[in-house]
Structure 1
């Protein structure tokens, strides 16, 4: 595959593709699955380790996919930003159904003062904004 927008089209090779995850165990599972398919040159790592690097195409596991709850770690704005900004041409976000509802069910751990407008964590807002943006590009998985 080549990019039709590149001034000097070059083939897309495995070393220009990355998979981003929130956890090391997720990255290890993806690496093992790719190795089982004979794919060894795709970079698979966590958001923290992908920071500062750039790839032509990235596949991102949404930080809340597979989670029963929305913790501060998974809602951290920087993590979501890094995962969705490492690509030059395409970013594919893999997300399970129900993450929007999980966000809505996320209880704030900050004390609420009567008569004060509640401000949700930035990560909450960022995740909702990303999901809303991606909704128009959503492709449902069908086994």
Structure 2
């Protein structure tokens, strides 16, 4: 199937930040749908929140074990993308740093977008529930303000 889109939007890689929440799983579905329309790939970046990053940085927990915890989520996301015929890759990023004061989930998303040269970002809008696992609750607004790519907030 040829995707010959001429127009303002030429999408090859859709970036979707995730944190294991239902909202971020839904964002992946949107990202996969958009990627499918454009014959693009999806990259899911799993953002680690402040508590987890502090624990990794002070050696309380092992980064590999944290990533292991997220594998089930990433696997389900990958299965969904594969079912839809969309190639998906993934990585992990620190959404917080004890050393870099400007590091937060929004900046981590944009840094990843630049590194991967992604053309489009789908960012979950999360309810501010105060759940420490939900890293992305304040990121959507930042990404919408500062991204150079088109952004869909879902």
- TM-score under structure 2 length normalisation: 0.37
Highest Rg: 1 or 2?
1
- TM-score under structure 1 length normalisation: 0.39
